[in-house]
């Protein structure tokens, strides 16, 4: 416990006589950044900083909402490379093509009555047929 207190004080965390702590924004951000490292979990980082995992999760939510600024990632010694940006007109979205045995048409089923219509049948005509079938059922 004493080593953790020393660790927190070295980061600038103010520890009051009551045991409460005042966390600088930079320390909160550092803890959140550690949870984002590969293989790291909120539970492990929370234990390292002596906070409950739900407190650290709250800090993560603040970071996601833009209310807590995370430290920038370390800059690598590797040279930066860029990929060429190619821009083109987007194709208009295509309507989903029906599949199956009636891909070219429409099937109406009313009880034991089954009617197959061409895909380009007018909506008014389909409504008339449906109305007529409904009257007979």
Please write the tens of the pLDDT for every residue from 57-71: 999 999 988 898 887
Here the contacts of 40-46 (C-beta below 8 Å, separation 24 or greater) are none
Helix (H) or strand (E) holding 117: strand 113-118
Please give the C-alpha separations between residue 17 and each of 14, 72, 115, in angstroms, as whole numbers: 10, 34, 83
pLDDT score of 41: 93
The mean predicted confidence, pLDDT, of the chain is 81
Tell whether the model's pLDDT for residue 95 goes beyond 70.
no
Query: What angle do the packed helices 25-35 and 2-11 form, to 10 degrees?
Result: 110
Tell whether the model's pLDDT for residue 4 goes beyond 60.
yes
CATH number among 3.40.50, 3.30.70, 1.10.10, 2.60.120, domain 2-64: 1.10.10
pLDDT score of 83: 65
Q: Cα–Cα distance between 43 and 53 in angstroms, integer?
A: 5
Domain segments of the chain as ranges? 2-64, 105-136
């Amino acid at each position: 416990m004493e080593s953790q207190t020393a660790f927190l004080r070295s980061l600038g965390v103010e520890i009051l006589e009551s045991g409460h702590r005042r966390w600088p924004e930079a320390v909160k951000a550092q803890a959140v950044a550690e949870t984002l490292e590969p293989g790291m979990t909120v539970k492990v980082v929370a234990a390292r900083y002596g906070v409950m995992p739900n407190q650290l999760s709250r800090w993560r939510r603040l970071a996601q909402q833009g209310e807590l600024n995370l430290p920038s990632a370390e800059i690598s010694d590797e040279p930066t490379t860029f990929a060429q940006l190619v821009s083109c007109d987007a194709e208009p979205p295509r309507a989903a093509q029906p599949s199956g045995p009636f891909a070219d048409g429409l099937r109406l089923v009313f009880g034991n009555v089954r009617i197959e219509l061409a895909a380009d049948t007018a909506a008014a005509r389909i409504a008339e047929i449906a109305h007529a079938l409904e009257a007979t059922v």
